[in-house]
Structure 1
């Protein structure tokens, strides 16, 4: 029997425009709500990410984040 999806935690999330558009596009394509899309992504994080590429992508993101913070 499938486990019922029950939202037990509320989260106020800040997203970049690009991240929001990607989330919206993914949820629309999958035919699920944005809440359900986030649940899916985090519940299946290990299988939807490339474990070899993730550390490299994270380093790039962190470097870009540091650069953005330096700009006025």
Structure 2
């Protein structure tokens, strides 16, 4: 029997406009809400990400972070 989807944890999230649009586009394409999309992505994080690519993209993001904050 599948687990029941209970969205019991809430937290304030700040994201860029690009990230927000990507999340909503993904949710719309999948036919789910943005809350359900985030839940899916985090529950299946290891299977939906490529470990090597993730580490590379994270290094690039961190390198640009100071410039992006300005």
Same fold judged by TM-score > 0.5? Answer: yes
Give the Å deviation of 1:18: 0.2
Q: Which residue of 2 aligns with 1:57?
A: 57
TM (norm. structure 1) is 0.92
TM (norm. structure 2) is 0.94
Give the Å deviation of 1:13: 0.5
RMSD (CA atoms): 0.8
User: Which stretches in structure 2 are left out of the alignment for 5+ residues?
Assistant: none
Q: Which residue of 2 aligns with 1:10?
A: 10
User: Which stretches in structure 1 are left out of the alignment for 5+ residues?
Assistant: none
Aligned residues: 70
Moved over 4 A (4+): none
Give the Å deviation of 1:65: 1.1
Per-residue CA deviation, residues 13-39 of structure 1 (Å, 9 max, x unaligned), is 101000000000000000000000000
Which protein has the bigger helix share?
A: 2
